[in-house]
Structure 1
């Protein structure tokens, strides 16, 4: 599945989150004070995480959840609080280290954090797979391929986010260039929802899946759109 574009982007993302901006993301995903722009990103991410979690059963006892691209682990920890057995994977060993430090003692046996490739498919099957803001740096073709791989281990739902193609988002990206180069994240790849749905519907590996619910979250410098695939 790994295309040249996918491998190149994955390498950039690993470098950014594991070394260049690991401390920035540790602060952003904590309660530490951050700048005004980053505060809007934090608020948007909090809303998106709550939105994705709202699509999962309130009681997750007896269910397995895969957090693909888990970052510092907030979504995985909340799913474990609801009773799920959670496996959470991220390409950045540094972020995984932060995530492990944040697991409450009472949940230590319910959530497992692992550094590695979220597409490896070596963790068994899951009732629900969630990929929050871990596909947003890839182009349309790679997003569809990644959805195919993630759906292969999901029994009920696959929830993921993408960067919607909007004029506002393009303007915010231009503002983002004002950040010091070392603090810039890998650029997002805006994707039109209609085109994404068409490509998902045409993907042979997703013939047993249906794209349904979608919701966009916009908060200052943060814009992301969630999409749910449900197994037929």
Structure 2
């Protein structure tokens, strides 16, 4: 079940990535030159993507993966190269269009791109769900509700990122609020692993799930924490 806060934030993200951030996101997720700040973000995202992919089996043949909040599709493509059948979903029609343009033609049968909500049950069952930097904008309670809704549809693990509650990230967030509202990205919602676990324990469908491993990635203006949740 979605909440008003989830729906409101989902709308903000859709509007931001479909209109405000289109050109910046195209450059950030390509090999085009970027300024020093964005270069650190690019490097951090590359490192995070490699981390999340390393938590999946090396051989993904016969496995079905949901790339939840796929953006321009880089993670989905790498998973497909390793044999997975990937459903790559994003709220932004603009980003999905870009992902389709960039997808290698030889992988067209392994990756299905779709505009939509990652919680849509019509996408079916999966062996793994990966959500890279798509839940960092939601409050902890909504992250837990999202995981609880996905858990019954996942045979393996839930792999996602959160915004860690660190002094450095707090400062960056405060500085970001100084920019004109039209230039701001949607706010992130830092949360500790302990608080996330508490929120997860409030849902029956997550009673047999535990946080199995975590890893923080720090790269200049990119700070994010990878989390894998598995059934105990």
Separation in structure 2 between the aligned mates of residue 45 and residue 39 of structure 1, nearest angstrom: 10
Q: Hey, what does 1:31 align to over in structure 2?
A: 31
Name 1:78's counterpart in structure 2.
Answer: 78
Task: Tell whether 2:190 aligns with 1:190.
Answer: yes
Name the counterpart of 1:226: 226
Counterpart of 2:72 in 1: which secondary structure? coil
| 1:214–1:225 Cα contact (<8 Å) kept | yes
Secondary structure of the corresponding residue to residue 156 of structure 1: coil
Q: Give the Cα–Cα distance (whole angstroms) in 2 for the partners of residues 116 and 202 of structure 1.
A: 27
Matching residue of 1:147: 147
Deviation string for 1:178-224 (max 9, x for gaps)? 54543321010111211111221342111232211011111111111
8 A Cα contact 1:86 1:110, kept in partner: yes
User: Where does residue 115 of structure 1 map in the other structure?
Assistant: 115
Deviates more, 1:77-86 or 1:17-26: 17-26
Deviation for aligned residue 1:33: 0.9
Give the structure 1 partner of residue 159 of structure 2.
159
TM-score (norm. length: structure 2): 0.96
The 8 Å contact of residues 136 and 189 in structure 1, kept in 2 or not, is answered as yes
Distance 1:183 1:122 in 2: 34
Deviations 1:151-171 (A, max 9, x none): 222101110111111111011
Secondary structure of the residue that 1:126 maps to in structure 2? coil
TM-score normalised by structure 1 residue count: 0.96
- Distance in 1 of aligned mates of 2:58 and 2:161: 21
- Structure 1 position 104, deviation (Å): 0.6
> What number of residue pairs does the alignment pair up?
232
Residue pairs, 1:36-55, within 5 angstroms: 36-55=36-55
- 1 CA distance for matches of 2:176 and 2:186? 11
Across the aligned residues of Structure 1 and Structure 2, the Cα RMSD in angstroms comes to 1.2
Deviations 1:68-102 (A, max 9, x none): 01000000000000000000100000000000011
**Cα drift, residue 231 of structure 1:** 2.4
SS of the equivalent of 2:127 reads: strand
The answer (yes or no) to whether the contact 1:134–1:161 under 8 Å persists in 2 is yes
In structure 1, what is the equivalent of residue 6 of structure 2? 6
The answer on 1:67 being equivalent to 2:76 is no
Q: Work out the CA distance in 2 between the residues paired with 1:222 and 1:229.
A: 23
Confirm or deny: 8 A CA contact 1:155 1:231 kept in the other structure: no
Alignment of 1:96-107 (within 5 A): 96-107=96-107
Equivalent residue number for residue 57 of structure 2: 57
